[in-house]
């Protein structure tokens, strides 16, 4: 029930090795991982670590994956909640969940808090389409209040994700809040190839599978689409009673993913 699911706490075994491309993002987060692994060391040096990191990028480009990889790489617990869940809550519930989550994360520090879809609570005030407005504002204020209240050496890093940075309330982006921004782009050809390879690690492949060619034929695909492509190809091979996935399966799966996302776009508009 939604009552029991206040927020999720997890351990992650994902690391930066599971993330293809995104070299700049990984480099920035590597620095944070270094801190989370040994906050005492940084404390002795008087170094202040960013409290809030905003991951910005189109859907399926690996924002959640990166946040999990940061947790796995640092070997710290990971607390997560999605902004869109707050919208359905009664006034006050969102704020109390935020409070509980920050309290748990501090108790288990060093730790990471991940807030997915921050734009659903963090939209600029006064742009709402009515409904849930108070709730949103209270939740947002609670998040900001918690971050402002951090001890400067509190070893809790808050990572938030959005694909709508343009609608965010400026209050979120002020110094001391989400002042470290990381942009994730759609993968280029080389990154697409690497993503296809990562997601077919456990898939038996026929000799004719050519990831170089497949990566050239998947312009505009996000990581999530590429993962989906590999899975669709494997399902197809299963249906055809094949022992390995061949290039024909990959190409058919590619067309299916293209059609699927076109349909979504039509419905989404």
Annotated binding site: 57-64
Which 84-123 residues touch ligand ATP, going by CB under 6 A? Answer: 116
Residues near 215 by beta carbon (within 8 Å), at least 6 away in sequence: 189, 190, 192, 193, 196
63 interacts with ligand ATP by CB under 6 A: yes
Select from 21, 110, 132, 165 the one that contacts ligand ATP (CB under 6 A): 21
Torsion sign (Cα): 181, 70, 24, 231: negative
5/190 with CB nearer ligand ATP: 190
Select from 32, 33, 54, 65 the one that contacts ligand ATP (CB under 6 A): 65
Select from 104, 141, 163, 197 the one that contacts ligand ATP (CB under 6 A): 163
223 interacts with ligand ATP by CB under 6 A: yes
Phi and psi at 161, nearest 5°, equal -125, 145
198/206 with CB nearer ligand ATP: 198
84/128 with CB nearer ligand ATP: 84
> Candidates 52-60, 94-102, 149-157, 230-238 — which segment interacts with ligand ATP by CB under 6 A?
52-60
Residues near 80 by beta carbon (within 8 Å), at least 6 away in sequence: 7, 8, 10, 67, 113, 114, 115, 116
User: Cis bond leading into 60, ω under 30°?
Assistant: no
73/137 with CB nearer ligand ATP: 73
How many C-beta atoms surround the C-beta of residue 114 within 10 A? 29
Distance CA 118, CA 55 (A): 10
For ligand ATP, the binding residues (CB under 6 A) are 19-22, 57, 59-65, 116, 161, 163, 195, 198, 223-224, 227
């Amino acid at each position: 029930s939604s009552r029991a699911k206040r927020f999720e706490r997890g351990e992650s075994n994902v690391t930066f090795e599971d993330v293809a491309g995104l070299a700049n993002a990984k480099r920035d987060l590597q620095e944070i991982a270094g801190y989370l692994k040994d906050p005492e060391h940084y404390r002795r040096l008087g170094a202040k670590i960013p409290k809030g990191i905003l991951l910005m990028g189109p859907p399926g480009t690996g924002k959640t994956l990166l946040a999990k990889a940061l947790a796995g790489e640092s070997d710290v617990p990971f607390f997560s909640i999605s902004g869109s869940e707050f919208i359905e809550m009664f006034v006050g519930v969102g704020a109390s969940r935020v409070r509980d989550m920050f309290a748990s994360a501090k108790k288990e520090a060093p730790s990471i808090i991940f807030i997915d879809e921050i734009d659903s609570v963090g939209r600029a005030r006064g742009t709402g389409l009515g409904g849930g407005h108070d709730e949103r504002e209270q939740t947002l204020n609670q998040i900001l209040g918690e971050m402002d209240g951090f001890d400067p050496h509190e070893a809790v890093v808050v990572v938030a994700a959005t694909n709508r940075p343009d609608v965010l309330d400026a209050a979120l982006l002020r110094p001391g809040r989400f002042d470290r921004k990381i942009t994730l782009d759609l993968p280029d050809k080389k990154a697409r190839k690497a993503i296809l390879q990562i997601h077919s690690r456990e898939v038996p492949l026929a000799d004719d599978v050519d990831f170089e060619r497949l990566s050239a034929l998947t312009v505009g695909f996000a990581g999530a689409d590429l993962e989906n492509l590999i899975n669709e190809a494997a399902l197809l091979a299963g249906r055809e009673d094949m022992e390995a996935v061949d290039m024909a399966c990959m190409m058919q799966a590619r067309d299916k993913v293209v059609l699927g996302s076109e349909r979504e776009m039509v419905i989404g508009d």
